[in-house]
C-alpha cells in the first residue's frame, strides 16, 4: 500500500449536540492525485423553511465525491442544503 503524503485525521464532535451524541467526517485523497476532491457538509440545526409550520431540529450531513473535479462537489457542499430547506413540506 502506498503511503498518503498529506493524510489528515478524521474530524469529530467534541460535545453532545442534542440527540446527536457524536459525529465524524473523513475523506481520503488516494494515491493518484496530490489533492483531495471530496467535500463534506455538516449542519447540526438546519434552519426551518419559511413555509413550514412544524419543524423539528434537523441535522444535515452531506458527503460529495469530486470524481475528477471539485466544481460539482463544491457547489453541492455550499448549496444543496439551501435547496432542501426551500422544499415545500
Per-residue pLDDT tens over the stretch 17-75 = 566 667 777 777 767 777 788 888 888 888 777 777 777 777 888 988 877 778 998 99
Per-residue pLDDT tens over the stretch 45-60 = 887 777 777 777 778 8
DSSP letters spanning the chain: -PPPTT--PPEE-SS-BTTB---EE-----SS-SS---EEEEESSPPPPTT-S------EEEEE--SS-SHHHHHHHHHHHHHHHHS--
Band (89; pLDDT cuts 50, 70, 90) = low
Provide the whole-model pTM: 0.64
Band (1; pLDDT cuts 50, 70, 90) = very low
Amino acid at each position: 500500500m502506498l503511503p498518503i503524503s498529506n493524510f489528515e485525521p478524521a474530524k469529530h464532535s467534541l460535545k453532545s449536540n442534542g440527540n446527536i451524541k457524536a459525529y465524524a467526517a473523513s475523506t481520503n485523497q488516494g494515491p493518484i492525485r496530490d489533492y483531495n476532491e471530496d467535500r463534506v457538509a455538516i449542519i447540526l440545526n438546519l434552519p426551518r423553511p419559511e413555509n413550514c409550520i412544524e419543524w423539528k431540529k434537523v441535522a444535515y450531513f452531506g458527503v460529495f465525491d469530486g470524481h475528477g473535479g471539485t466544481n460539482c462537489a463544491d457547489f453541492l457542499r455550499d448549496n444543496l442544503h439551501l435547496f432542501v430547506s426551500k422544499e415545500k413540506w
